[in-house]
Amino acid sequence: MLFNLLARAATTVVGTLFPAYQTYRCVEKAPKEDLRHWLRYWCVYGLSSCVQKAVETFMLHYLIPGYEFAVLGFTMWTALPGAGGSDKVYSTYIRPFLKKHEKKIDQALTEASTSLYDKIRGSAKDAYETAVRAALSAVFTNPKSGTVQTVSVMVEGPPVRREVQAAYVEEEQSDDDLVFIKEEPMDDGYE
């Protein structure tokens, strides 16, 4: 248990912190080839992280003896520039796969992002309209009877520019509901 924790901590340091710092150094000062190495590493890291999450989600890591150490070894092999693991994994597996399926992936990403944008926009519009209706209902509530008057809300335009029109429709009232105030001289005894 303790060794697994140490292996996991070492994997985080070797697999994330060290490469992040090296990437920073490459972006700021290093030659182009070093930058290419770290970009390849981050591609490998992203894919291996997805595989690890899938393995751990289905609890398969409990079935693999020394799983944490295998992950640490793979991470060291791919993260350390002298080992060349990330360049090998990238050029052997990731690059050919992405080259072959690049158009399909781009199309799927475009469709998914458009669909997601439309759903988020629709949800935001619905939430906004609900909030406006609730606010208008609170404003147009008859305090005497506790009833809500009819309120209609029309929302048009993109989410950032909303135009809200509210109409207050009065219900017919009987004379019993009305309060009349009549001005009369006060008889206070000072005449």
Q: Is residue 167 part of a domain?
A: no
Q: Is residue 176 part of a domain?
A: no
Compute the Cα dihedral for 41, 42, 44, 49 and give only its sign.
positive
Q: Is residue 189 part of a domain?
A: no
Q: Is residue 177 part of a domain?
A: no
Predicted TM-score (pTM) of the model is: 0.57
| Digit-coded pLDDT (tens) for 98-138 | 999 999 999 998 898 888 888 898 898 888 888 888 877 77
The better pLDDT of the pair 1, 97 is held by 97
The contacts of residue 154 (CB under 8 Å, 6+ apart) are 163, 164, 165
pLDDT value at position 67?
92
| Digit-coded pLDDT (tens) for 27-76 | 888 788 888 889 999 999 999 999 998 998 889 888 999 999 999 999 99
| Digit-coded pLDDT (tens) for 69-96 | 999 999 999 999 899 999 999 999 999 9
pLDDT value at position 5?
82
Q: Is residue 184 part of a domain?
A: no
pLDDT value at position 147?
59
Q: Is residue 127 part of a domain?
A: yes
For every residue of 159-184, DSSP letters joined together read TTS-EEEEEEEPPP--GGG-------
Instruction: Say yes or no to pLDDT of 97 above 90.
Output: yes
Closest CA to 48 of 82, 16, 25, 24: 16
Give the domain extent around 101: 1-140
Q: Is residue 90 part of a domain?
A: yes
Q: Is residue 164 part of a domain?
A: no
pLDDT value at position 140?
67
Using the structure block, give the residue that is written with the tokens 């140490």: 6
Instruction: Provide the domain count of the chain.
Output: 1
Q: Which contiguous run of DSSP H or E holds residue 47?
A: helix 32-57
Task: Return d(Cα 37, Cα 46) in angstroms, integer.
Answer: 14
For residue 190, give the 3-state DSSP assignment.
coil
Using the structure block, give the residue that is written with the tokens 């990731």: 94
- Show the 3-state SS of 80-133: CCCCCHHHHHHHHHHHHHHHHHHHHHHHHHHHHHHHHHHHHHHHHHHHHHHHHH
